[in-house]
């Protein structure tokens, strides 16, 4: 078996982490049990480009249990858990191409290795796999029956491809499923971003001015958790509805140029480019901390920070680079602007990835069942899958809900009944 990982000797610790995460993934476990019996993905060559974490390992095991011939590569150079990668290879016979801290050259080499597997189904987190197949491998693109996309940034890229008429196979926007974004983006990013920032810096959030750039589900989750820990949350937005929502949720809303002057901690969660730029950094206070929790390291214009700074940055703590401005103010950039929740912490907890990855596995089954029948476009996850995942999650949490009575069903279906 070919693979490229940091050190196979780390497998023991990786296996313990994978099993620990599995304990908190009851919905995915049920999918795996059924897949083991029914083998809905039997013999399908599959390449997945995901953050190589303990949670992803459980998704990989589920796909393999369903009969998929799977290889896995990293979707970010700084999110791989090397011990998990080792265990996937050693204990679960799944080829992995991922090394924590790999440079861009190795990162793309790993993506190409996953493509060389000749997939008919792909799964992506950020759309790097799909976009590379589209640009460089037309023969492979012809054979792909469908692809699943995990994240907001990836869905934005895929929709742009579809709008340009460039998309060559159907893709499923798993990110847009409510069983994914309402929970993973909000509670997952909310908690893991706080976790990453605290692990990297050990700062106290209480009393700090925390500037949250972007008030989508990720920004909402992060703002909510910072508020809960006593921070004064300031939101910056470009969308008027979201800005209003933030204001009515009780947060101060202002432009980044204003927020720059008062923020102690800045975090971007927008999916867009250069949200924090030199013009903002110039105004920041001494000791300001700048981080990103969006998928790509483009949300902070690091080149402009480098141009502004005097001399080289100093790594004052692991994953904390300090830049000194001409006025003497020190700006601390975390994890080189890479997604802080996976670079400095362990990403979202298993309990929330349970829903995202159960949705991923079931969407994969749906794509295989509908091979050749799906239109080439960005599809939503079928509502039946979302219903099943949410009901099972509730039942795993021992929560029961009411059912509509016959009278209520009739009322909801009628338009004549008034006062
Ligand atoms: N994205 C965010 N958190 C993650 C995790 N724990 N595993 C895989 N992908 C993730």
pLDDT in tens, 217-231: 999 999 999 999 999
**What is 8-180+349-396's CATH number?**
3.40.50.1480
The predicted structure's pLDDT at residue 157: 93
Separation of 300 CA from ligand 1 center, angstroms? Answer: 21
**Which sign does the torsion angle of CA 194, 173, 30, 49 carry?**
negative
Separation of 122 CA from ligand 1 center, angstroms? Answer: 17
Tell me the best of 188, 189, 341, 349 to mutate to test the pocket of ligand 1, counting ligand atoms within 8 Å of each CB and taking the most: 188
Q: Which helix (H) or strand (E) holds 322?
A: strand 320-324
Separation of 326 CA from ligand 1 center, angstroms? Answer: 38
Tell me the three state secondary structure of residue 255.
Answer: coil
Which is the closest atom of ligand 1 to the Cα of 346?
6
How confident is residue 145, by pLDDT bands cut at 50, 70 and 90? very high
The predicted structure's pLDDT at residue 227: 98
In angstroms, the CA 296 to CA 126 distance is 8
In angstroms, the CA 43 to CA 116 distance is 16
The finding on whether 15 has its CB within 6 A of some atom of ligand 1 is no
Distances (CA, A) of 300 to 139, 216, 261, 337, 372: 36, 18, 16, 6, 41
Residue identifier of the C-alpha nearest atom 9 of ligand 1: 51
In angstroms, the CA 419 to CA 417 distance is 7
* 263-297 burial: b if 16+ Cβ within 10 Å, else e: bbbbbbbbbeeebbbeebbbbbeeebbbbbbbbbb
Tell me the best of 181, 192, 343, 351 to mutate to test the pocket of ligand 1, counting ligand atoms within 8 Å of each CB and taking the most: 192
In angstroms, the CA 249 to CA 263 distance is 19
Domain boundaries, the chain: 8-180+349-396, 189-343
4 pLDDT above the threshold of 80:
yes
In angstroms, the CA 385 to CA 304 distance is 45
The finding on whether 353 has its CB within 6 A of some atom of ligand 1 is yes
Separation of 180 CA from ligand 1 center, angstroms? Answer: 12
Which is the closest atom of ligand 1 to the Cα of 52?
8
* Class of the CATH-defined domain 189-343: alpha beta
Mean predicted confidence (pLDDT) in 167-190: 95
Kindly list the strands in the beta sheet with 171-173, ordered across the sheet, starting from the edge strand earlier in the chain: 96-97, 69-74, 45-50, 121-124, 146-149, 171-173, 378-379
The predicted structure's pLDDT at residue 415: 87
The finding on whether 53 has its CB within 6 A of some atom of ligand 1 is yes
Tell me the best of 20, 58, 79, 294 to mutate to test the pocket of ligand 1, counting ligand atoms within 8 Å of each CB and taking the most: 79
Tell me the best of 88, 342, 351, 358 to mutate to test the pocket of ligand 1, counting ligand atoms within 8 Å of each CB and taking the most: 342
Model pLDDT for residues 236-279, shown as the tens digit of each residue: 999 999 999 999 999 999 999 999 999 999 999 999 999 999 99
86 pLDDT above the threshold of 80:
yes
The predicted structure's pLDDT at residue 22: 98
The finding on whether 348 has its CB within 6 A of some atom of ligand 1 is yes
How confident is residue 417, by pLDDT bands cut at 50, 70 and 90? confident
How confident is residue 309, by pLDDT bands cut at 50, 70 and 90? very high
The finding on whether 55 has its CB within 6 A of some atom of ligand 1 is yes
The residue to which tokens 């910056």 are assigned: 236
List 339's β-bridge partners, or say none: 292
Percent of the chain with pLDDT over 90: 97
């Amino acid at each position: 078996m070919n693979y490229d990982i940091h050190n196979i000797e780390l497998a023991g610790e990786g296996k313990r982490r994978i099993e620990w995460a599995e304990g908190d993934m009851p919905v995915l476990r049920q999918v795996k049990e059924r897949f083991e019996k029914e083998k809905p993905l039997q013999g399908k060559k599959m390449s997945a480009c995901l953050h190589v974490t303990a949670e992803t390992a459980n998704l990989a095991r589920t796909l393999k249990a369903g009969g998929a011939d799977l290889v896995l590569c990293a979707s970010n150079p700084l999110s791989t858990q090397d011990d998990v990668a080792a265990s996937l290879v050693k204990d679960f016979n799944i080829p992995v191409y991922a090394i924590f801290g790999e440079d861009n050259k190795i990162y793309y080499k790993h993506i190409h290795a996953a493509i060389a597997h000749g997939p008919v189904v792909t799964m992506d987190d950020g759309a790097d796999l799909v976009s590379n197949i589209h640009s460089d491998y037309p023969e492979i693109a012809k054979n792909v029956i469908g692809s699943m996309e995990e994240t907001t940034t990836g869905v934005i890229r895929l929709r742009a491809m579809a709008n340009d008429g460039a998309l060559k196979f159907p893709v499923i926007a798993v990110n847009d499923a409510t069983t994914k974004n309402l929970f993973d983006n909000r509670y997952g990013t909310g908690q893991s971003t706080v976790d990453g920032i605290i692990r990297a810096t050990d700062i106290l959030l209480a009393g700090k001015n925390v500037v949250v750039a972007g008030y989508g589900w990720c920004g909402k989750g992060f703002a909510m958790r910072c508020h809960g820990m006593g921070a004064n949350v300031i939101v910056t937005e470009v969308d008027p509805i979201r800005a209003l929502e933030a204001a009515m949720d009780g947060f101060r809303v202002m432009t980044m140029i204003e927020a720059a002057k008062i923020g102690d901690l800045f975090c971007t969660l927008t999916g867009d480019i250069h949200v924090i730029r030199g013009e903002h950094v110039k105004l920041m206070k001494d000791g300001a901390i700048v981080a990103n929790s969006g998928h790509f390291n483009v949300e902070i214009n690091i080149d402009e920070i480098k141009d502004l700074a005097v001399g080289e940055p100093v790594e004052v703590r692991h994953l904390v680079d300090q830049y000194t401005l001409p006025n003497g103010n020190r700006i601390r950039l975390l994890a080189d602007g890479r997604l802080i929740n996976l670079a400095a912490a362990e990403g979202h907890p298993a309990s929330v990835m349970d829903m995202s990855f159960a949705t991923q596995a079931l969407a994969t089954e749906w794509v295989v069942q509908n091979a050749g029948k799906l239109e080439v476009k960005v599809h939503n996850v079928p509502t039946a899958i979302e219903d099943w995942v949410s009901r099972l999650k509730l039942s795993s949490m021992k929560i029961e809900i009411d059912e509509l009575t016959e009278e209520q069903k009739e009322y909801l279906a009628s338009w004549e009944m008034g006062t």
